[in-house]
């Protein structure tokens, strides 16, 4: 018996950036060495204006999938968040589900991966601190670059892919 090879995601970095250009979503992308955790690459982030992010791919005990994107310095309390977002107990989603739904690998989790979630299996939760930021920075589906978007362009991206975030003020939950 052979195992099925995972389906290639519709978008990778190059296709994402080309799609943004074709759809009038202005962005600036900076290449850099791979960054796997929020606390890595601080010297890279200093040179890039805007709010930098942390992104959590989660699953609740009913099997629902969640992507929480928060400002890098925001505390996301996973014990308090479920009541606020309407989920059950949250745990991290596995690598297979991450790739299957968002076309991402660990270390590259990003709100821009929602472009690969054609079936809308993942509920998007956005930190109010990011919703209010002038510029937001996300990985462009790979952790070897960072893409900066003005807030208007980030919202345009979400509108074009048909996604409305659940905006949560995580600072008030702490």
The string of DSSP codes covering 8-61 is PPS--HHHHHHHHHHTT---EEEE-S---STTS-HHHHHTS-SEEEEEEEEEET
91 beta partners: 59
**Whole-model pTM?**
0.90
Residues of the chain with confidence (pLDDT) below 50: 1-2
How confident is the model at residue 2, as a pLDDT? 43
How confident is the model at residue 58, as a pLDDT? 97
């Amino acid at each position: 018996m052979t195992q099925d090879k995972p389906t290639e995601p519709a978008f990778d970095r190059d296709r994402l950036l080309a799609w943004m250009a074709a759809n009038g979503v202005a962005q600036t992308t900076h290449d850099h060495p791979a960054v796997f955790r929020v606390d890595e690459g601080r010297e890279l982030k200093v040179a890039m204006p805007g709010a930098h992010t942390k992104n959590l791919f989660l699953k609740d005990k009913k099997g629902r999938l969640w992507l929480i994107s928060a400002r890098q310095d925001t505390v996301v309390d996973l014990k308090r968040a479920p009541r606020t977002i309407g989920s059950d107990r949250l745990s991290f989603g596995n690598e297979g589900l991450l790739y299957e739904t968002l076309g991402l690998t660990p270390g590259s989790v990003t709100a821009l991966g929602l472009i690969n979630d054609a079936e809308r299996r993942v509920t998007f939760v956005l930190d109010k601190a990011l919703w209010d930021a002038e510029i937001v920075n996300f990985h462009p589906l790979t952790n070897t670059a960072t893409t900066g978007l003005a807030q208007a362009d980030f919202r345009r991206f979400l509108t074009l892919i048909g996604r409305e975030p659940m905006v949560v003020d995580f600072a008030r939950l702490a």
